[in-house]
């Protein structure tokens, strides 16, 4: 596999993202809602980098399963979402690829009467975006490659890597 982003670069970018979020919400209470499972490492690091009154929540959404490297049907499990009524919510995901996942999640949170809904992602594949919006915050723009590490997986492996890497074609099962 080919390393794209080193662990130290990620750490610095997450710290910077924390400052951006603090500046945006200016001391207001915030719920950071992590999209499972890819965002768990980012969520863990980000909440320690943000000095605001925080609540943490989770939502499960997946369109890539097993050895698939192409988007399938989006499956959403809302059962883990905490009460967000009247709260600012930051939807946090590992990657903004086509944008369909966040496009589907935003109205779900808005319908729960959140005060505001914004988005943040670690990675953005800008050239693959198929929706008419961009993430409000992102750490890195990346090329159109299948990436793993720092929470992102291939067949539930590689999430533990402290860096982001692109899998070579021979490392991806056909």
Q: Which residues are catalytic?
A: 97
Nearest to 120 by CA among 147, 140, 100, 104: 140
How does strand 147-148 pair with strand 164-166?
A: antiparallel
Phi/psi zone of residue 156: left (φ > 0), alpha (ψ -120 to 50 degrees), beta?
A: left
The encoded tokens of residue 134 equal: 């961009």
**Tokens 């809904």, residue located:** 117
Nearest to 92 by CA among 66, 131, 123: 123
């Amino acid at each position: 596999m080919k390393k794209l982003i080193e662990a130290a670069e990620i750490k610095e970018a997450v710290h910077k993202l924390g400052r951006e979020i603090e500046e945006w919400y200016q001391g207001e209470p915030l719920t950071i809602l992590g999209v499972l499972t890819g965002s768990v490492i980012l969520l863990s690091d980000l909440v320690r980098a943000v000095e605001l009154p925080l609540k943490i929540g989770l939502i499960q959404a997946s369109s890539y399963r097993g050895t698939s490297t192409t988007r399938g049907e989006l499956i959403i499990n809302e059962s883990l979402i905490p009460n967000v009524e009247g709260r600012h919510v930051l939807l946090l995901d590992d990657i903004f690829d086509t944008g369909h996942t966040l496009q589907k999640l935003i109205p779900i949170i808005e319908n729960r009467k959140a005060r505001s809904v914004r988005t943040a992602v670690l990675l953005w594949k800008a050239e693959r975006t198929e929706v008419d919006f961009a993430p409000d915050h992102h750490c890195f723009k990346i090329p159109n490659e299948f990436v793993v590490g720092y929470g992102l997986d291939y067949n539930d492996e590689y999430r533990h890597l402290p860096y982001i890497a692109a899998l070579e074609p021979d490392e991806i099962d056909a």
